[in-house]
Amino acid sequence: MSLKVGMIGGGYFGRFHINAWRRIENTELIGVADLSETRRGELSALYPDLVLHPDIHALLAAGPPDILDVAVPPAHQADLIRPLLGRIRTIICQKPFCRSLTEAEDLTRAAEQAGTTLIVHENFRFMPWYRAIRDEIDNGRLGAVRQACFRLRPGDGGGADAYLSRQPYFRDMERFLVHETGIHWIDVFRFLFGEPETIYADLWRANPAIKGEDAGLMILSWPNGLRATLDANRTLDHAAENHRLTMGEFTLEGENATITLDGHGQLACRSRGATGSVEIPYDLEDRDFGGDCVFRFQQHVISHLLSDTPLETLAKDYLQNIRIEESAYRSAEQRQQISLQKQNHR
């Protein structure tokens, strides 16, 4: 069985989606719609055999695909998706998912009522090092995890021309660091550790050339005493040939061992009391973005549709990430820790 895939949006990140769909077995990318004539010209040069359309209506003229992949900014997502609910079996929506929690909840509810499976394209949890770290937690190598810290240091946000060459809409986002970037680690922390109970955030703008915050600290806590910190500054870098491979460095400290992730994607484990570390081998392919995580995410969706394997990042589950995001901004405004317990039961 081959599943037909249609796409909306062929910008910078959408091209990682295109590359992945073209590699996945049992799928056929039947076309990509993009309003921009310039982008369609660029796509035509990159992919001479790709069928391009000026809008969603032209894409759907031959009939609805099995999967619609929506890779457009949040301001356009709900208006594009809502009329298609019930007409298309599976819709994948790029993150940030919608412009607000209310809009995301309304769209998710409408999808459930229409019988459309709505999935958020959250690919960071599919970065191979996080899957390997999760395996190490599950096999008990660390013992109880007590502390975790990711230092976000992509080094791409400095100067007057920050983000112009790749994703210029970043510059005008009034909520930037947490809404666009930090939510990836909110999701990763939930994937690794389960549901947190509190959050504290201190957010600020390091580059005055952009509108939103681009630096900050977020500390999440769990009932077992675990604390996980996102220490983020997009204007600073870390030791790596490709600063966007891992986007920074990660340390997890357990009762029995400590695991570190460096900017080259190398995982190492130091047993408690030891002075040296040993490498943790895992399958890493430095391809496209983030260890080929877009391919891994999209393959995960296809596996679910064809083999009924469990599906991660359903919109209804992803809403909790957005609730935590909202709490992070409220924490920063009020300068106090926010309880997440009531939100966990919504």
Cα separation values, 202 from 20, 32, 176, 217, 222, Å: 36, 40, 14, 5, 19
For each of the domains in the chain, give its residue range(s) and CATH number, in order of start: 3-121 (3.40.50.720), 125-291+321-339 (3.30.360.10)
C-alpha 22/C-alpha 263 separation (Å) is: 28
Q: What is the pLDDT of residues 126-148, one digit of tens each?
A: 999 999 999 999 999 999 999 99
Q: Which two tokens stand for residue 123?
A: 């690919």
C-alpha 253/C-alpha 271 separation (Å) is: 10
Whether residue 1 is predicted with pLDDT greater than 80 in this model: the reply is no
The answer to whether the CB of 29 falls within 8 A of the CB of 52 is no
- pLDDT given at position 342: 59
Segment 299-317 mean pLDDT: 97
Question: 268 pLDDT band (50/70/90 cuts)?
Answer: very high
- Secondary structure element (H or E) that encloses residue 228, with its range: strand 227-233
- Non-local (6+) Cβ contacts of 49 within 8 A are none
Whether residue 319 is predicted with pLDDT greater than 60 in this model: the reply is yes
Whether residue 78 is predicted with pLDDT greater than 90 in this model: the reply is yes
Question: 201 pLDDT band (50/70/90 cuts)?
Answer: very high
CB count within 10 Å of CB 297 equals 24
Whether residue 344 is predicted with pLDDT greater than 80 in this model: the reply is no
Q: Which two tokens stand for residue 67?
A: 């999967």
Q: Supply the mean pLDDT for the chain.
A: 96
pTM of the model: 0.96
Cα separation values, 264 from 153, 235, 249, 271, Å: 13, 19, 9, 21
3-state secondary structure of 69: strand
Q: What are the backbone angles phi and psi of residue 296, rounded to the nearest 5°? A: -65, -40
Question: 211 pLDDT band (50/70/90 cuts)?
Answer: very high
Residue 124 CA neighbour count, 13 Å, CB half: 20
Q: Which two tokens stand for residue 313?
A: 């990042």
C-alpha 28/C-alpha 9 separation (Å) is: 17
| Pairing state between β 90-94 and 117-121 | parallel
Q: What are the backbone angles phi and psi of residue 198, rounded to the nearest 5°? A: -145, 160
Q: What is the pLDDT of residues 54-76, one digit of tens each?
A: 999 999 998 999 999 999 999 99
Of the candidates 173, 177, 156, which has an alpha carbon nearest to the alpha carbon of residue 165? 156
For 21-111, where are the E strands, in sequence order?
27-33, 52-53, 67-70, 90-94
Whether residue 346 is predicted with pLDDT greater than 50 in this model: the reply is no
